Amino acid sequence: MVNIKVGDTVPQGKFATVPYSPELEDGLACGVPTKISTDAWKGKKVVIFAVPGAFTPTCHSNHLPPYLQNYDAFKAKGVDVIAVLSANDPFVLSGWTRVQNVKDKLVALSDVEGAWSKELGLTIDLSGLGIGLGTRTTRYALVLDDLVVKYIGVEEDPTQVTASGADAVLAAL
Active site residues: 59
Kindly report the length of the chain. Answer: 173
> How far from 61 is each of 76, 128, 160, CA to CA, in Å?
24, 23, 11
d(CA 37, CA 55): 25
What is the rounded distance in angstroms from the CA atom of residue 105 to the CA atom of residue 153? 22
Q: Is 43 exposed, middle or buried (0-12, 13-18, 19+ CB in 10 A)?
A: exposed
H/E stretch holding 91:
helix 90-99
Amino acid symbol at 23 = E
